Amino acid sequence: MAEYGESVETTASPDRVWKVWSDTSTWGEWNPNVQTMEMQGPFQSGTTAVMNTRAGQHHQMRLLDVQPGKGFALETSVIPGTTFRFNCRIEPNGSGSRVGQWVEVKGPLGFLGFMFGPNVSKEFGTLLRNLAKKAESGPPS
């Protein structure tokens, strides 16, 4: 299954990136599409949330595969017959990190991912650069 997305380099440590990324109360500060992320529990696999976008949309989300300091996935169903899975990864890179986000489209209409994936992922570079900048400006981990 194809993934669409990208990654950026940061001088922030993987732990520092994780502290920012796993604190959903700050997502509206650095993610250009998110106004708020309302978690229904702790940042762990199985927790559900509602992502409120700046465009006024509300998406039910579920956290999956949470691995502190390494990454997580968010899954939602926005378009009938599809499931969007956002794979978020942090890897050590020298004295900093490589931070990436990709989307894969699954479900009965998942084969249309080539139509949705590039459009959904077009803002990933901006949000990742903003995430990196916030992680770099925080206290050292």
Domain boundaries, the chain: 4-33+45-137
> Three-state SS for 8?
strand
Sheet containing 58-67: which strands, arranged edge to edge?
4-10, 96-106, 83-93, 71-76, 58-67, 48-53, 34-39
> Three-state SS for 59?
strand
Q: Which segments of the chain does DSSP mark as H helices, in order?
A: 14-21, 27-30, 113-120, 124-137
Span 42-85, pLDDT tens digits = 999 999 999 999 999 999 999 999 999 999 999 998 778 889 99
C-alpha 124/C-alpha 41 separation (Å) is 25
End-to-end CA distance of the chain: 36
User: What is the pLDDT, as a whole number, of residue 94?
Assistant: 92
Of residues 118 and 4, the one with the higher pLDDT is 4
Q: Is the per-residue pLDDT at 137 higher than 80?
A: yes
User: What is the pLDDT, as a whole number, of residue 109?
Assistant: 76
Which CATH entry fits the domain spanning 4-33+45-137: 3.30.530.20, 3.20.20.70, 3.50.50.60, 3.40.50.1100?
Answer: 3.30.530.20
Cβ proximity of 92 and 9 under 8 Å: no
C-alpha 38/C-alpha 67 separation (Å) is 20
Q: Is the per-residue pLDDT at 115 higher than 80?
A: no
C-alpha 89/C-alpha 53 separation (Å) is 22
> What pTM was computed for the model?
0.91
